[in-house]
């Protein structure tokens, strides 16, 4: 953060200078008030003499006030600018950092939580920065300046200032103690509220079809009411704090006036000076009170801002759990090898994969089957290094994936995930995520294999057709075909299809498979499938059961030897019949 602020030295200086002008003007004004009142009470001056002097002081007062006003406006503008540019820098730094996170890092933080950090937490920091550059230096300067000047103005009343300061500090301290814990809860509640809202909106179709609106609303209301309670507690404390300050200051003013009147009555000789002084004294008292209140407010925003700053620092300082070798990019073949691989998800104690070993030769078509939750997707995600195994090694082209460059892995492997995720933009934009320099020929070739060209060509804008947020303007099957197109466009050596034809009808699925056999015969293809019919022709089938590889072989061999495979086959056959 200091680095981010340090980049804007010119603005920092401007904020400082304008703040000093503002404080100077505020502290200077009361002394002129004192002069004006002293002139009025001066019996030795003629009326004309008094008018002349008062006019001069009046002009000086106006000039100082104008300086103060201009200083204040410019300070607000510069403070706002610093707060905005620094928070924009922080937001961009945070986003860039998140882009370097591995899949495991994102899981660890949780994506809703990261969104809150990039929005709400950055806003809190922006407010804090604005406060810092408007009041941080102003508060102590104003406090010390007004304190000294008030005592110089009416030395007899020093103790009133001390008593007032002690009382205000006590009230402010008490209020902070009451409000502090509520601030600490704000951010956690915001995380929870955001997570509910995000899940609800993302899963809008599920919510509607299961008529879950009421449940969702109740869940949301509970968290929102919690937040309300904390907000109310802060509000109530705040609303008692302000009248308490008013009472303290009015009492102090009252006592000061009573004492000055008594002094004046007792010794009229000093009346002129005392009377002039009381006005300035009251103004300084107000400034002291203002400084303490501003200090209190500042510490309130600071406590919220510091929590947010801590949360942003956590992201910026996070060591990514995955480091890629900086070795030169290389050409790897499509061989895959798992050697005694164990894997447990972050924050999960029980391993999802246990002691998995197998070899796949380049160009083979391999099926992976197993009951739901057996670990098929997890196994596939270790090949492109979305996660690292907790034990054992995963090799691609004969090399441990931890010792090849990220670019090499990206070029060699494509994974088409179970859930077809498209980004808003155009079809071409989405396909180019697979190969940035893809031309029309590349797109056409890939789309034909994935059986997507038929519906893309029917769209008036073809490859430039718009894709809405999360690809919502396409059907499930179309989204899957577009994802497959994106996966094969770069002609990878290894293609992993994680249940990626599940939304296609049997005929379309057959067309995709035939096209794969024809066009991608040199590509190692891993097909994770729910249906055995999707992998019967595979060279090999891996059978997973509760995280273990229980059998490996072709369909015929497995039917003869694997009990788990026989069971799956029997259930599915029953369903088909």
Ligand X SMILES: Nc1ncnc2c1ncn2[C@@H]1O[C@H](COP(=O)(O)OP(=O)(O)OP(=O)(O)O)[C@@H](O)[C@H]1O
534 near ligand X, judged by CB under 6 A = no
Per CB under 6 A, the list member of 52, 314, 330, 348 interacting with ligand X is: 348
Q: Which of 153, 287, 377, 408 binds ligand X (CB under 6 A)?
A: 377
Nearest-angstrom CA–CA distance, 256 and 247: 14
Which of these ranges, 299-307, 310-318, 370-378, 518-526, lies near ligand X under the rule CB under 6 A?
A: 370-378
String of DSSP letters for 43-104: TTS-HHHHHHHHHHHHHHHHHHHHHHHHHHHHHHHHHHHHHHHHHHHHHHHHHHHHHH--HH
Binding to ligand X by residue 268, rule CB under 6 A? no
Closest contact distance (angstroms) between CB of 372 and ligand X is 3
Query: How many residues bind to ligand X according to rule CB under 6 A?
Result: 13
Which residue's CB is nearer to ligand X, number 38 or number 352? Answer: 352
Single out the residue of 87, 94, 352, 485 in contact with ligand X (rule: CB under 6 A). Answer: 352
How far is it, in rounded angstroms, from Cα 12 to Cα 79?
A: 8
Q: Which stretch binds ligand X (CB under 6 A): 278-286, 325-333, 376-384, 533-541?
A: 376-384
Rounded least distance, CB 531 to ligand X, Å: 11
The binder of ligand X chosen from 161, 374, 431, 541 (CB under 6 A): 374
Residue 375 within binding range of ligand X, rule CB under 6 A: yes
Which residue of 44, 46, 265, 372 would you call a contact of ligand X, by CB under 6 A? 372
Nearer to ligand X, 39 or 496 (CB): 496
Task: Based on the shown chain and the rule CB under 6 A, indicate whether residue 370 belongs to the binding site for ligand X.
Answer: yes
The stretch among 92-100, 200-208, 306-314, 373-381 that binds ligand X (CB under 6 A) is 373-381
Q: Helix or strand or coil: residue 393?
A: strand
Interaction of residue 421 with ligand X, rule CB under 6 A: no
CA distance 514 to 29: 88
Of 131-139, 312-320, 365-373, 419-427, which part binds ligand X (CB under 6 A)? 365-373
- Distance CA(333)–CA(336), nearest Å, equals 9
Q: Is 571 in the site for ligand X (CB under 6 A)?
A: no
Residue 376 in contact with ligand X, rule: CB under 6 A:
yes
Cα dist from 363 to 24, 329, 529, 548, whole Å: 79, 21, 19, 25
Two tokens, residue 121: 């937490």
367 binds ligand X (CB under 6 A): no
Q: Which of 238, 345, 358, 455 binds ligand X (CB under 6 A)?
A: 345
CB of 353 to ligand X, least distance (A): 8
- By beta-carbon proximity to ligand X, the closer residue of 314 and 348 is 348
Task: Report helix, strand or coil for 409.
Answer: helix
Helix/strand/coil (H, E, C) string of 347-381? CCCCCCEEEEEEEECCCCEEEEEECCCCCHHHHHH
DSSP per-residue string spanning 534-575? GTTT-SEEEEEETTEEEEEE-HHHHHHH-HHHHHHHHHHHHH
Nearer to ligand X, 89 or 107 (CB): 107
Tokens 């009421």 belong to residue: 214
Nearer to ligand X, 55 or 110 (CB): 110
By CB under 6 A, residue 107 contacts ligand X: yes
Closest to ligand X by CB, 124 vs 500, is: 500
Span of 59-67, 209-217, 344-352, 358-366 interacting with ligand X by CB under 6 A: 344-352
Q: Which two tokens stand for residue 532?
A: 């055995």
- For ligand X, the closer of residues 30 and 375 by Cβ is 375
- The site map against ligand X for 73-92 (x = CB under 6 A) is --------------------
Provide the phi-psi class of 110: left if phi over 0, else alpha when psi is between -120 and 50, else beta: left
Nearer to ligand X, 223 or 499 (CB): 499
> Of 511, 513, 550, which Cα lies nearest the Cα of 529?
513
Running DSSP on this structure, what letter comes out for residue 324?
-
Minimum gap (Å) between residue 378 Cβ and ligand X:
3
> Can you tell me the distance from the alpha carbon of 417 to that of 103, in angstroms, rounded to the nearest whole number?
13
378, 412, 483, 562: which one binds ligand X (CB under 6 A): 378
Cβ at position 375, least distance to ligand X in Å: 4
Q: How far apart are CA 481 and CA 428, in angstroms?
A: 14
- Own/partner contacts of 342-351, CB < 8 Å, gap of 24 or more, are 342/389, 342/390, 342/391, 342/392, 343/378, 343/379, 343/382, 343/387, 343/389, 343/390, 344/390, 345/104, 345/107, 345/378, 345/387, 346/104, 346/107, 346/108, 346/321, 347/107, 347/108, 351/390, 351/547
Which positions touch ligand X (CB under 6 A)? 107, 345, 348, 352, 370, 372-378, 418
């Amino acid at each position: 953060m200091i680095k981010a602020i340090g980049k804007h030295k010119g603005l920092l200086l401007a904020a400082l200078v304008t703040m000093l002008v503002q404080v100077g003007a505020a502290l200077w004004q009361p002394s002129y008030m004192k002069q004006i009142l002293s002139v009025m009470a001066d019996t030795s001056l003629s009326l004309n003499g008094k008018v002349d002097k008062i006019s001069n002081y009046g002009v000086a007062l106006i000039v100082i006030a104008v300086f103060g006003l201009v200083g204040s406006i410019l300070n607000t503008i510069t403070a706002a600018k610093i707060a905005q540019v620094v928070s924009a820098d922080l937001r961009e730094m945070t986003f860039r950092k998140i882009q370097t996170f591995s899949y495991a890092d994102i899981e660890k933080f949780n994506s809703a939580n990261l969104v809150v950090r990039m929005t709400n937490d950055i806003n809190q920091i922006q407010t804090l920065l604005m406060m810092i550059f408007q009041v941080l230096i102003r508060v102590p300067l104003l406090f010390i300046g007004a304190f000294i000047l008030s005592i110089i103005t009416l030395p007899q009343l020093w103790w009133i200032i001390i008593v007032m300061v002690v009382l205000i500090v006590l009230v402010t301290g008490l209020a902070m103690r009451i409000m502090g814990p509520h601030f600490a809860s704000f951010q956690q509640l915001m995380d929870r509220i955001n997570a509910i809202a995000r899940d609800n909106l993302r899963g809008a179709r599920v919510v509607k079809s299961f008529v879950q609106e009421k449940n969702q609303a109740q869940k949301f209301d509970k968290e929102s009411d919690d937040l309300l309670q904390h907000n109310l507690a802060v509000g109530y404390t705040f609303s008692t704090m302000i009248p308490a300050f008013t009472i303290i200051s009015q009492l102090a003013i009252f006592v000061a006036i009573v004492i000055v009147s008594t002094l004046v009555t007792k010794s009229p000789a000093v009346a002129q000076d005392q009377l002039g002084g009381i006005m300035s004294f009251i103004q300084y008292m107000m400034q002291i009170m203002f400084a303490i209140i501003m200090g209190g407010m500042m510490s309130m925003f600071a406590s919220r801002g510091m929590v947010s700053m801590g949360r942003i620092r956590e992201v910026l300082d996070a060591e990514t759990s995955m480091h890629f070798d900086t070795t030169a990019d290389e050409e790897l073949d499509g061989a895959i090898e798992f050697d005694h691989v164990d894997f447990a998800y972050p924050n999960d104690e029980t391993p999802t994969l246990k002691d998995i070993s197998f070899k796949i030769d380049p160009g083979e078509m391999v099926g992976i089957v197993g009951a739901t939750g057996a670990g098929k997707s997890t196994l596939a995600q270790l090949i492109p290094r979305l996660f690292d195994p907790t034990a054992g090694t995963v090799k691609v082209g004969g090399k441990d994936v931890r010792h090849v460059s990220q670019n090499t892995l990206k070029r060699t492997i494509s994974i088409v995930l179970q859930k077809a995720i498209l980004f808003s933009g155009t079809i071409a934009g989405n396909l180019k995520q697979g190969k940035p320099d893809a031309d029309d020929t590349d797109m056409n070739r890939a789309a034909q294999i994935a059986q997507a060209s038929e519906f893309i060509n029917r769209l008036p804008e073809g490859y430039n057709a718009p894709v809405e947020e999360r690809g919502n303007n396409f059907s499930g099957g179309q989204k899957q075909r577009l994802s497959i197109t994106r996966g094969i466009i770069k002609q990878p050596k290894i293609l992993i299809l994680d249940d990626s034809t599940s939304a296609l009808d049997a005929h379309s699925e057959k067309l995709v498979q035939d096209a794969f056999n024809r066009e991608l015969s040199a590509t190692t293809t891993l097909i994770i499938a729910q249906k055995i019919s999707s992998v019967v022709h595979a060279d090999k089938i891996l059978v997973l059961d509760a995280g273990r590889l229980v059998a490996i072989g072709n369909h015929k061999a497995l039917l003869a030897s694997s009990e788990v495979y026989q069971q799956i086959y029997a259930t599915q056959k029953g369903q088909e019949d």
